[in-house]
Structure 1
Amino acid sequence: MKFTDGFWHARPGVGLHYAREVDRIVAGDGTLTAIAPTKTITTRGATLNQPVLTTVLSAPMDNVITVRVTHHKGRPDPRRFDLDVAGDARPTATVEDGHGQLTSGALTAHLDVGTSFELRFQAGDEVVTRSAAKSMAWASVAPDAAIDRGPIQLRTNPATGYMLAQLDLGVGEVVYGLGERFGPYAKNGQAVDIWNEDGGTSSEQAYKNIPFYLTNRGYGVFVNDPGHVSFEVGSEAVERVQFSVEGETLEYHVIYGPDPKTILERYTALTGRPAEVPAWSYGLWLTTSFTTDYDEATVNSFIDGMAERDIPLSVFHFDCFWMRDFNWCDLEWDPRVFPDPDGMLERMHARGLRVCVWINPYIAQQSPLFDEGMAAGYLVKRADGSVWQWDRWQAGMGLIDFTSPEATAWFKDKLRALVRQGVDSFKTDFGERIPVDVVWADGSDPLRMHNLYAHLYNQAVHEVLVEERGEGEAVLFARSASAGGQQFPVHWGGDSTASYASMAETLRGGLSLALSGFGYWSHDIGGFEGVPDAAVFKRWTAFGLLSSHSRMHGSDSYRVPWMFGEDEADEQSAVSVARRFARLKNRLMPYLLGAGREAHATGTPVMRPMLLEFPGDPSVTYVDRQYMLGGDLLVAPVFSTEGDVELYLPEGRWASLLTGELVDGGGWRRERHQFDSLPVYLRPGAVIPLGAREDRPDTDHLVDLTLLAHPGEGDDWSRTVEVARPDGSTAAFTVRRDGADLVAESAYAADGWSLQGVDGRRVAAEAGTARLA
């Protein structure tokens, strides 16, 4: 939201009341409070007839400083995100000779009493960022002011006051994150509204809006407000990032790293770490697609077809029409096409498959749940007490009120019955079209509930699976989210189209989401809207099966590989490509599970922008067409039919996972790949644990385990990797140089594991040691 007309003027109808100076600073127990007049105080009379901004600094954990700026404190404080503030915070606050500072770990905030306002954040002598002159304000806004209020432009009663703050952008500083955004990966120059919308992947709107960004200068910023937060990223003020909220109080957290992994670790310590997901969820998911015709026979034909073609399948997903049309959601199988759901689920489980079903929190008027929920008061209401309804999506649909504990428990019980019937997972679709002209059961501000609704919805569904299946077995396939939503994985990218351009924008969205604290991510292989040609489908298949999670799904057409080419003698056919990469992913399971454990423990995502692994390399600043899968595999999807791809390899000697070829990094390279190939490189010094089984992801990965080693330079090089055991513990393996040999050692007593070099040489372990000469 832009308030200014150039550098000197406010827009018509806008009054900008900037913090001009600091009148006084008071140190408390771990807090610092500054009083900032919005006029320069030259006489006692100048203290009258002006707004004053009160700035309180505190620290919820070490290396994080909270800034809370208030104009009028008499208004109720709006609902904020739930944060874990029971950490290791040991802040110190001092005021001496008019200089106040609050220190949290390595990060210190500085304020000075004087005639120019400046809030400065430093790590030692280095200025991390600062909020200087004309950078903190209360804005009074007339109803007819010449500003674009963004997605809430059409509200009946527009806000009359906004709080805003700006932080400096240094030369060469680049901003990332702000949720799953499909536009440019680097956010500089953009205006970003934190407001969940169902807008597809080819628009400026986003399903997962997160008011958190990080930069390549060692810090991140989290605005703790679930409502409409408007970011101007080097756009309105080109030297600064501005963020503004409606109301009288603005709260944000400056999170010091200095490296991006540490920033994410601290951010997810505040907002929640991703849950671990089960091994079976990493395998290939296949769906009925959205509007296609299907029944149990159709489903069986797909499952049989995958088995007959040796394409391993882990999960089958039933999309919307598992329920009867006009009844979404009644959470009942449509008896016309699924007359024996209990038997069907039992038969699918007997084939080693897991089952996912589509749901959303919208209750159609034709659903029996509508009358039940209306009678009990479980649906969101209008101000006059009537149930809020509209006809967009489902005729006469209402909305479950997740601010009501009773309504939440009611909905969870309906899902619990499905889990006990045999459903293993839920696709939690929608959750973005949340109205603001409503009254919530707990009295929440409708403006804040619009984004927060997705969190409460996914949390309720995830809790059912944890309660019924246990920790580590719960997994969603979720579309919407707000800050903290990473606790309820997995999330997918929403409605893409069947094109290379949409494939690329989908990846940009995933990279942005990864830098917003989300550990796992997926997308619709082949694109959702339209029918992909065979080339797009095959290229997207390779990309999708080298993502954290993999699903073939479409809107009005099926996505089974043989519909895009199945010549068994052709290694480039869609069936051959799907088989190759689905089996490869299953072999990578010990490695992927390790990356998932890291996501759960530290917040580092499984799919990683290059920035996370190579923060000191300026060449990765804008790289958005490749990523690291875990810490040791570089993946560059191919976005062309011809197979031409440009990729960047950082310094060192890299090794192709698919061919074993060694390539020197330190620059850009061009390659051409057939459909059954793409650039997948082992990082120098990598040790990749590979499972022996290609047919499924959820096996004992220690049986006939292979350690694929690409040793680093130096006689003292060594690397230890851990592989999950069936009981949930881990077995450690260390690979090191011993003169001209590679030696692998482990205390793991079972026979069968081996050491393999990227050149294909292999040796089996003997008595816990393998030596590759």
Structure 2
Amino acid sequence: MRFRDGMWLMAADKRIDYAEDIYSITDLPDGKGLELLCPVKKIRDRGDTLNCPTLTVKLEAAFDGVISFEVTHWAGAVKRGPNFDLYPDGRPESSASISRKDTGTTLSSGSLSATVTSEPQTFDIKFHSSDGSKELTSLLNRSVGMAYSPVTGNMKVVEDMRTFKHYIFTQSELGVGEGIYGLGERFGAFNKVGQRIQLLNEDGGTSSDQAYKNISFWLSSNGYGVFIDQPELVDLEIGSERCCRLQTSLEGQRLKWYVIYGPTPKEVLTRYSILTGKPSMVPAWSFGLWLSTSFTTNYDEATVTHFLEEMKSRAIPVEVFHYDCFWLRAFHWCDFVFSSSHFPDPKAQISRLKSGKLLNKVCVWINPYLGQASPVFDMAAEKGYLLKRKNGDVWQWDLWQAGMGIIDFTNPEASDWYLGCLSELFEIGVDCIKTDFGERIPTGDVQWFDKSVDPAKMRNYYAFIYNKLVYEAMEKRFGENQAVLFGRSACAGVQRFPLCWGGDCESTAAALAESVRGGLSIGLSSFAFWSCDIGGFEGRPNPWIYKRWVAFGLFCSHSRLHGSGSYRVPWLIDDDVKGEQSATAVLKTFVRLKRKLMPYLYAQAVESVEKGWPMSLRAMCLEFPDDPTSWFLDRQFMVGDSLLVAPVFTEGGEVEFYLPEGRWTNWWNDEVVEGPRWRKEKHGFGTLPIYVREGTVLVLGKEEGADGEGFGYDWFQQGGEVRLYHTKPGDSAALRDFEGKDCGIMKVGHDGEIEGHPIPALKGNWVLKILPD
């Protein structure tokens, strides 16, 4: 939202009032905050206080390192929900203090402080570290304000606000060279400076400025982050209207956000996850290969069985088989009824597939809509389970499904009915759910069952309600840390209900790069787990694209073969004609490699959940924040804290990537490369750049196992390998078994080997390898 025409003029269709003065500063009653009365003109005498709007600013200490900022114009505006579910695991104690000097009043919340100027007729609020070592950002002259559209001739005309829109905005300073990252799953430029971003969930694919997952949190390269505590549409001008400022605006009377200090980006994410919730853990089996029927392909019970038998014959274990949309009857989506002409006895089929060890788990696709052709529609409409228009009609349109309605999860009875449908799927043998859609929720001419709900806030927040309902149903059925969903829409807090995937991408190298950027960005919003459609969703992937995507996709936390109008089984990609370079061979290579890495991956996953960090597609800046180059890297990533991976985007295998400072060991040949440096390599389809960080104690499991043995295999009982990469005494690795249980710490001793040789508390045939040889 632009309020000005360049630096000097206001936009022709808007009237703007800025907070020009801090007239008074008052301590909040609990002693943990300040309230500022800010007139929109400079107050020089008592007469200036008349006919003068004011903005009220509240600064409050949330907890150590976090301070909230809230600006309000008219405090009488109704505070309608829904609101973000903050502090789901409890709120930490805050140790606030207020001090006053001639230069200003300072509110401190542990390591973070905000100082309000005492200079008269001036607006100046600075956020900085409490020890004074670091300035973070500021709100300076004409940086907090409100606006009317259209332009108001005088204040009397706002007696009737029905023909006016009222906006409120802030403009925080951007430092020289400061980068802004995150804001959910965004597929454009990694650094958001220079962009206008609207936080509004849309089904826009991966090649547009729209996003399925709009997360109102951004991370700065200057050692802090900002969480915007507003579920509705928030409009951001990130160095795009004023090049030196990040503007946050919305339609309404209040705007609230939190400044979160690190100083490291990892610490920022951990504090952010305390506010909005930490990710839940997922079971070990979910890290295995997921195979889908694809979307509009023609499939039935025989097709599913054939695919799984062929995968087994090629020694490629399928952990999860996913039934996409057409397990349901056409035009009936989503009434939870299997198409009897395609799947006459789904329960029996699923049982046969599992007992035959063709798969481990089963997933089905659902959405929160209901097509008019379904016999269930009339019942749902009559009982009030569907969102309504203000005149009482069911809200419907023909986009996606003819005459579809939207499940109104603010109605407890509708939620109970939906839970009953899910329970029936679990009885059939379904183990996990793909929660598709949940974007494009209407905000105009609608009335929710819960009349206290603001429709504008439901556009994004619906994703939270939808995913929470399904996740908790699975958790209740299968147990804590055993629930897995595959969601597409999200807002702040949905990281608590793993996992999500990147939505509809094309089958091109550009789309592969888009997916990498999307995964990096969502990871900087505390989403620990993320996936994408391997090979691309739209179109039929060229064999080389499919194979390059396989190599990347098996290094995502979760890995799924899925497409739209064509199958993604490897033998249909290039007919298995190229030996070790065939799609089948490449898929087998990387499935086995991921299996071998599972002891490391699972331990990293547990730490990521505990800290609120991304497990895979971890942006380089999280591990190397002091290396300026790391903030520009959007074509490579870390898997956990020790493995660097660089996807290949060319058919010929040429790839360029960056190694930060330190010694890095090539996974494939043990070559040691000193960083920092850029490096060029060329790779066949069976490899891609993988480098191990110095100081790594890498615990590896078995590469292959007995038929039907999945990614939940007990690696500590079956043996494996421990590799030490340029370690020193004290370097260590956490040990977690396949159920996530803490098995202690493996530490390097003074003799250069593992303390308690060979491997404490581990059984089986284990090998110790010290690198370099």
TM class by shorter chain equals over 0.9
In the alignment, what sits opposite 1:115? Answer: 121
Which of 721, 727, 733 pairs up with 1:721? 733
In structure 1, the residue matched to 2:666 is: 656
Equivalent residue, structure 2, for 1:22 = 22
* Residue aligning to 1:55: 57
From 658, 678, 688, the counterpart of 2:688 = 678
Change (3 A) 1:404 1:354: same
Structure 1 residue runs of 5 or longer lacking an equivalent are 146-155, 762-773
1:99 is aligned with what amino acid?
A: G
What secondary structure is seen at the aligned counterpart in 2 of 1:665?
strand
Do the aligned partners of 1:280 and 1:697 also contact (CA within 8 Å) in 2? Answer: yes
Which of 458, 463, 483 aligns to 2:467? It is 458
Other-structure match for 1:433: 440
Greater CA drift, 340-349 or 234-243: 340-349
- What is the match of residue 713 of structure 2? 699
Which of 559, 571, 580 is the equivalent residue of 2:580? Answer: 571
Q: TM-score scaled to structure 1, two decimals?
A: 0.94
1:212-361 matches, cutoff 5 A = 212-350=217-355, 351=357, 352-361=359-368
Distance (Å, rounded) in 2 between the aligned partners of 1:77 and 1:375: 31
Structure 1 residue 724: Cα displacement? 2.0
Question: Does the C-alpha gap of structure 1 residues 336 and 157 become closer, same or farther in structure 2, counting only changes over 3 Å?
Answer: farther
Mean alpha-carbon deviation: is it higher for 298-307 or for 364-373? 364-373
CA distance change for structure 1 residues 289 and 740 in 2, over 3 Å: closer, same or farther? closer
Deviations 1:353-377 (A, max 9, x none): 2000000001001123212211111
Residues 645-673 of structure 1: per-residue CA shift (max 9 Å, x gap): 00000111111222222222211010000
Give 1:82's aligned amino acid.
D
Cα distance per residue 1:428-467 (max 9 Å; x no partner): 0000021112111112111110011111111110011001
SS of the aligned residue for 1:293 comes to coil
- Which consecutive residues of structure 2, in runs of 5 or more, have no partner in the other structure? 154-160
Match of 1:623 in 2: 633
The answer to whether the 8 A contact 2:290-2:561 is kept is: yes
2:768 matches 1:755: yes
1:736 to 745, 748, 751: 748
1:135 and 2:115 are equivalent in the alignment: no
Aligned equivalents of 1:11, 1:321: Cα separation in 2: 50
The 5-angstrom pairing of residues 410-425 of structure 1 reads 410-425=417-432
| Alignment check: 8 A CA contact 1:167 1:242 kept | yes
Compared with structure 1, are the counterparts of its residues 363 and 181 closer, same or farther at alpha carbon in structure 2 (3 Å cutoff)? Answer: same
Number of aligned pairs? 748
Query: Identity percentage over the alignment?
Result: 46
Distance 2:599 2:739 in 1: 14
Amino acid at match of 2:687: S
Cα offset for 1:211? 1.1
Native 8 Å contact 1:32 1:101 kept in 2:
no
Aligned to 2:497: 488
The secondary structure found in structure 2 opposite 1:702 is: helix
The match for 2:86 among 69, 83, 87 is: 83
Provide the C-alpha distance between the structure 2 equivalents of 1:487 and 1:165, rounded to a whole number of angstroms. 29
Q: Return the TM-score normalized by structure 2.
A: 0.94
Of the three residues 394, 403, 414, the one matched with 1:396 is 403
State the partner residue of 2:71: 69
CA distance in structure 2 between the partners assigned to 1:569 and 1:748 by the alignment: 44
Whole-Å separation in 1 of the counterparts to 2:265 and 2:103: 34
For 2:741, the aligned partner's letter is: S
CA contact (8 A) 1:143 1:160 kept: no
Structure 1 residues 639, 169: CA separation in 2 closer, same or farther (over 3 Å shift)? Answer: same
Kept in 2, the 8 Å contact 1:691–1:703? The answer is: no
Deviates more, 1:409-418 or 1:642-651: 409-418
CA contact (8 A) 2:746 2:754 kept: no
Q: Does 1:557 align with 2:562?
A: no
Please tell me whether the aligned partners of residues 703 and 753 of structure 1 are also in contact (alpha carbons under 8 angstroms): no
> Residue in 2 aligned with 1:508?
517
Give the RMSD, CA atoms, in angstroms: 1.8
Q: Quick one: structure 1 residues 569 and 130, their matched pair in 2 at CA, closer, same or farther if it must change by over 3 Å?
A: closer
* Alignment-mate amino acid for residue 606 of structure 2: R
| Mean CA deviation greater in 345-354 or 455-464 | 345-354
Give 3-state SS (helix, strand or coil) of 1:407's partner: helix
Alpha-carbon shift at residue 42 of structure 1 (Å): 1.2
Asked if structure 1 preserves the Cα contact closer than 8 Å seen for 2:284 and 2:738, the reply is: no
1:597 shift after superposition? 0.5
- Which residue identity is paired with 2:438? G
Aligned twin of 1:160: 165
Equivalent pair of 1:704/1:754 in contact (CA under 8 Å): no
Work out the CA distance in 2 between the residues paired with 1:456 and 1:595.
28
Choose the corresponding residue for 1:645, options 655, 663, 671. 655
SS across alignment from 2:464: helix
Q: 3-state DSSP class of the match of 1:83?
A: coil
Q: Could you say what secondary structure the match of 1:703 adopts? A: helix
User: How far apart, CA to CA, are the structure 1 residues paired with 2:80 and 2:72?
Assistant: 12
The CA distance in 1 between the partners of 2:40 and 2:719, in whole Å, is 67
Aligned equivalent of 1:614: 624
Seen in structure 2, the aligned counterparts of structure 1 residues 143 and 698 have a Cα distance that, compared at 3 Å, is farther
Instruction: Letter of the 1:450 partner, please give it.
Output: R
- Distance (Å, rounded) in 2 between the aligned partners of 1:98 and 1:602: 38
Shift of 1:566: 4.6
Change (3 A) 1:637 1:157: farther
How far apart are 1:382 and its partner, in Å? Answer: 0.3
Q: C-alpha distance in 1, partners of 2:195/2:545?
A: 30
Deviation, 1:9, is 1.6
Bigger drift between 229-238 and 70-79 goes to 70-79
Match of 2:394 in 1: 387
Hey, what does 1:770 align to over in structure 2?
A: none
Change (3 A) 1:447 1:312: same
For the 8 Å contact 1:229–1:245, the answer to whether it is kept is yes
Matched, 1:498 2:507: yes
Alpha-carbon deviation of 1:60? 2.2
Q: Cα gap change, 1:741/1:280 in structure 2, threshold over 3 Å: closer, same or farther?
A: closer
**Greater mean alpha carbon deviation, residues 159-168 or residues 282-291:** 159-168
Cα gap change, 1:667/1:98 in structure 2, threshold over 3 Å: closer, same or farther? Answer: closer
CA apart distance, 1:739: 4.8
The amino acid of 2:25's aligned partner reads I
Query: 1:115 offset after TM fit, Å?
Result: 1.4
Alpha-carbon contact 1:192-1:230 (below 8 Å) kept: yes
Amino acid at match of 2:59: L
For 2:522, what is the secondary structure of its paired residue? helix
Give the SS at the match of 1:621.
helix
Give the AA of the match of 2:461.
Answer: L
Please give the residue correspondences for 1:173-188 in structure 2 after superposition, counting only pairs within 5 Å.
173-188=178-193
Tell me the CA shift for residue 744 of structure 1: 6.2
How far apart in 2 are the matches of 1:567 and 1:216? 46
Q: Distance in 2 between matches of 1:611 and 1:368?
A: 52
Query: Partners in 1 of 2:632 and 2:239 — Cα distance?
Result: 16
* Structure-2 separation of matches of 1:298 and 1:741: 52
